[in-house]
Amino acid sequence: MTAVPESRVATVVCRLSDIEVEGGVAALVEGEAVAVFRTYDEQVFALSNYDPYSRASVLARGIVGSRDVDGTQVPFVASPMHKQAFDLRTGQCLDDAAVRVTTYDVRVRDDGMVLVGGRRSSS
């Protein structure tokens, strides 16, 4: 989870308990469709809800899991449309190195509310 700095504007999306473990929810954050995911180990990630392969806002309904990539377990969401997997940490497509979706800053407040901030710069 990349924390939203306290000084940055963030949008309250939902309670953490509203996101099923290994599931996602869609939210509108400053006019952009964002998918927020909760993994089995209680990490929270936010990335664009837009699937560049199907050209639809569907990633929040994808299958969340992890995949071994060079000896490291990578949390991912697989598109419900064509099943391409996107790294939840970076937005990088694990099936096509030329494709990446936008990621967003996200944090969970002490009261359990999930906040999504601005776009993260790609690395």
pTM, to two decimals? 0.89
- pLDDT tens per residue across span 46-65: 999 999 999 999 999 999 99
Q: Positive or negative, the Cα torsion across 87, 104, 13, 49?
A: negative
Per-domain residue ranges of the chain: 11-119
CA distances from 109 to 3, 44, 100 (A): 10, 12, 28
* Mean pLDDT split into 10-residue runs, the chain, 123 residues: 59 96 96 96 97 96 94 95 96 96 96 94 59
Q: Domain spanning 11-119: which superfamily?
A: Rieske [2Fe-2S] iron-sulphur domain (2.102.10.10)
